[in-house]
């Protein structure tokens, strides 16, 4: 998706820089990705195995990420993409219409995959209760690890966060 965005930015800037839809569809996914990345890296720095406050903060960040994804990749994306495609059709700009149709289709599918990942993470994490025993902690950490692997782009952080928690419980605190 980055390649298509870079490939299309010059022709779009030349011909359709005045269209609000262009700016919404070009910038909002980038904003969503950067906010979710930052929130994900923060989330993985939390000690969810020991601190109840971090556990609930982790769940709050999962909901925040889901909200960002739903807002930018559904609420903003689909109306703007449809509106821009309609404008191209009305202008009888067939080259841009065909290219935009292909790009909009693929990016819409990509956006739906991200929404599904965000919903999956929320469904797995939100109902969990704070673990009380060591075995419950390990199970919860494993569930959170799996649930968050799809919407976050910072997998090394969750591995180190989880190993810190596991080493603490094994009596090897840093």
pLDDT tens digits for range 26-57: 888 888 999 999 998 998 888 887 888 888 99
Close Cβ partners of 18 (under 8 Å, ≥ 6 residues apart): none
Average pLDDT of the segment spanning 78-99:
94
Per-residue pLDDT reduced to its tens digit, 50-63: 888 888 999 999 99
The percentage of the chain sitting over the pLDDT mark of 70, rounded to a whole number, equals 80
pLDDT of res. 173: 45
pLDDT in tens, 98-107: 989 998 999 9
Comparing C-alpha atoms, which of 70, 25, 49 is closest to residue 144? 49
In the predicted structure, residue 149 carries a pLDDT above the cut 70: no
Phi then psi for residue 133, to 5 deg, are: -105, 165
Q: CA Rg, the chain, in Å?
A: 20
SS3 107: helix
Average pLDDT of the segment spanning 117-146: 82
Three-state SS string across 51-69, please?
A: CHHHHHHHHHHHHHHHHHH
**CB contact at 8 A, 82 and 111:** no
In this prediction, residue 128 carries a pLDDT of 84
| pLDDT value of position 1 | 59
Sign of the C-alpha dihedral computed for residues 54, 58, 61 and 63 taken in this order: negative
Query: In terms of pTM, does the model score above 0.75?
Result: yes
* 11 compared with 145, residue with greater pLDDT: 11
Nearest to 58 by CA among 135, 163, 140: 140
């Amino acid at each position: 998706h980055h390649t298509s965005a870079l490939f299309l930015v010059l022709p779009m800037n030349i011909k359709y820089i005045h269209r609000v839809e262009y700016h919404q569809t070009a910038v909002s996914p980038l904003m969503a990705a950067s906010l979710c990345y930052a929130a994900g890296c923060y989330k993985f720095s939390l000690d969810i195995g020991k601190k109840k406050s971090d556990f609930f903060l982790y769940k709050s960040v999962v909901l925040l990420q889901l909200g960002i994804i739903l807002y930018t990749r559904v609420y903003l994306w689909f109306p703007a993409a449809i509106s821009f495609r309609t404008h191209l059709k009305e202008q009888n700009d067939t080259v841009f219409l065909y290219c935009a149709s292909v790009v909009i289709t693929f990016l819409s599918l990509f956006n739906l995959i991200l929404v599904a990942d965000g919903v999956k993470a929320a469904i797995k994490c939100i109902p969990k209760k704070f673990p009380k025993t060591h075995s419950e902690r390990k199970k919860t950490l494993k569930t959170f690890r799996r649930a968050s692997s799809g919407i976050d782009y910072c997998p090394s952080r969750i591995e180190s966060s989880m190993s810190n928690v596991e080493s603490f419980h094994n009596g090897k605190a840093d």
